[in-house]
Amino acid sequence: MTHFHQLADAVLAGTPATPEDALAVLRADDAELLSVVDAAGRLRRAHFGNAVKVNYLVNLKSGLCPENCSYCSQALGSSAPILKYSWLSTDEALAQADAGLEGGASRVCLVASGRGPSTRDIDRVVDVVAALKERHPGVEVCACLGLLQDGQAERLRDAGVDAYNHNINTAESHHDAIVQTHTYGDRVDTVTKAKNAGISPCSGLIAGLGETDEQLVEALFALRELGSDSIPVNFLMPFDGTPLADTWELSPTRCLKILAMARFVCPDKEIRIAGGREMHLRSLQSLALHVANSIFLGDYLTSEGQAAEADLEMIRDGGFVVQGSEEDLGQRDGRPVGTAIRRRGAGTDVLPNA
Ligand code: SF4
């Protein structure tokens, strides 16, 4: 039995992983990768079976943010050529959410750029949530609106918001190198406000920000301490026009080990493969589902993801099912859509697929 299976046994028996255990997972040799995935996968299946939670992002307000988070394409000073718009109307937001829910999502994440919401902004989100819940009574709604002021979490809770996302992003010891317009303490305070209001706290991290291995471990243990119910693990997408544009620190195997480490440290929490999934995990995305139990469907806030249908195909090809779906997608849609006849390359005037 490998060290990683012994660790899984201990965690399953109720002994939490230590920072040393987490570092050992992060620093596992690539030759041990399948052993790491196998062991972390036992924890995933013990708590979540073969279900994948599918989340859908609706960017209610894009760009134009006064904060200076150096990884963010929406930040002050970013010249990334992203879509910039102010608040979607309730009808526009509903139309976007409908598409995600029809695609199989069970949670809609309503996101707005900015330091934090005004009272008017909370009013707008309350309207969207009311309309969304009326149209889709079973939907879970997560709001992600920045730093919260006193009383705002309670208003969101009363409107039916189920979860509030505010990522700590990185270790406290690395935070000030990444952003200067707010503090790590500000971020923790907002997660705590949501939790104290009875809203499920969703808080995660971004890997690849120049942090050390020890700082990644520090961030994960901070999330465990904070009691984050869902942990989005983002992999830095280095947007042109941002200070981290040329920061490429991640490999697919490293990303898989980061997800496995998150599973060992927080075995019963929703570990979500978030932004940068396609770019950094690449052909290991489906393997990562054996460790993580949640993804975003389709596109991200300011960048495109792979086609939603490709996400769903990946889920069913791996023998997983969409959480909340009555049907096993493998039974419903298990057949290939048909053989595509080659119409490019030799014998045509179209470039070959190589
Ligand atoms: S506060 Fe949010 S939207 Fe604004 S720069 Fe930071 S991460 Fe981007």
Is the residue at 229 inside a domain? yes
Q: CA-CA distance, 202 to 11, in Å (whole number)?
A: 22
Q: CA-CA distance, 102 to 160, in Å (whole number)?
A: 21
Residues with CB under 6 A from ligand 1: 65, 67, 69, 72, 74-75, 113, 146
Bigger pLDDT: 135 or 1? 135
Measured by CA distance, the residue closest to atom 6 of ligand 1 is 69
SS (H, E, C) 68-101: CCCCCCCCCCCCCCCCCECCCCHHHHHHHHHHHH
| Domain span including residue 82 | 3-321
Is the residue at 334 inside a domain? no
**Spacing, Cα 197 to ligand 1 middle (Å):** 23
pLDDT tens-place string over residues 159-210: 999 999 999 999 999 999 999 999 999 999 999 999 999 999 999 999 999 9
**Spacing, Cα 215 to ligand 1 middle (Å):** 21
Residue 306: which pLDDT band, with cuts at 50, 70 and 90? confident
Q: CA-CA distance, 304 to 32, in Å (whole number)?
A: 32
Is the residue at 339 inside a domain? no
Q: Is the pLDDT of residue 296 over 90?
A: yes
Give the pLDDT confidence score for residue 332 in this predicted structure.
43
Is the residue at 327 inside a domain? no
- According to the annotation, is 266 in a ligand binding site? no
Contact 305, 311 (CB under 8 A): yes
Is the residue at 354 inside a domain? no
pLDDT tens-place string over residues 109-131: 999 999 999 999 999 999 999 99
Q: Is the pLDDT of residue 330 over 90?
A: no
Q: Work out how many domains the chain is built from and give that number.
A: 1
Measured by CA distance, the residue closest to atom 2 of ligand 1 is 113
pLDDT tens-place string over residues 219-253: 999 999 999 999 999 999 999 999 999 999 999 99
- Report the predicted TM-score, pTM, of the whole model to 2 decimal places: 0.93
Is the residue at 19 inside a domain? yes
54 forms bridges with which residues in the sheet?
295
**Candidate from 7-11, 231-235, 335-339 with smallest mean pLDDT:** 335-339
pLDDT tens-place string over residues 93-114: 999 999 999 988 999 999 999 9
Contact 241, 79 (CB under 8 A): yes
Bigger pLDDT: 326 or 80? 80
Of the candidates 52, 69, 84, 57, the one whose C-alpha atom is nearest the C-alpha of residue 237 is: 69
Measured by CA distance, the residue closest to atom 3 of ligand 1 is 113
Give the pLDDT confidence score for residue 1 in this predicted structure.
65
pLDDT tens-place string over residues 21-79: 999 999 999 999 999 999 999 999 999 999 999 999 999 999 989 999 999 999 988 99
Give the pLDDT confidence score for residue 341 in this predicted structure.
75
pLDDT tens-place string over residues 255-282: 999 999 999 999 999 999 999 999 999 9
272 forms bridges with which residues in the sheet?
232, 294
Tokens of 154: 């309670």
DSSP conformational letter for 282: G
Bigger pLDDT: 349 or 201? 201
Strands 51-61 and 321-322 turn out to be parallel
Could you write out the DSSP letters of every residue in 15-55? -PPPHHHHHHHHT--GGGHHHHHHHHHHHHHHHHTTEEEEE
Burial class (CB in 10 A: 0-12, 13-18, 19+), 335: exposed
- According to the annotation, is 44 in a ligand binding site? no
Give the pLDDT confidence score for residue 339 in this predicted structure.
67
Measure Cα distances from 265 to 76, 123, 247, 268 in Å. 34, 37, 27, 9
Tokens of 43: 């924890």
Q: CA-CA distance, 143 to 163, in Å (whole number)?
A: 6
Give the CATH number of the domain where residue 52 resides: 3.20.20.70
Residue type, 86: S
Give the pLDDT confidence score for residue 331 in this predicted structure.
41
- According to the annotation, is 72 in a ligand binding site? yes
Ligand 1 atom nearest to 179, measured from its CA: 6
Q: CA-CA distance, 285 to 269, in Å (whole number)?
A: 19
With the most atoms of ligand 1 within 8 angstroms of its CB, the residue from 65, 166, 244 to mutate is: 65
Is the residue at 116 inside a domain? yes
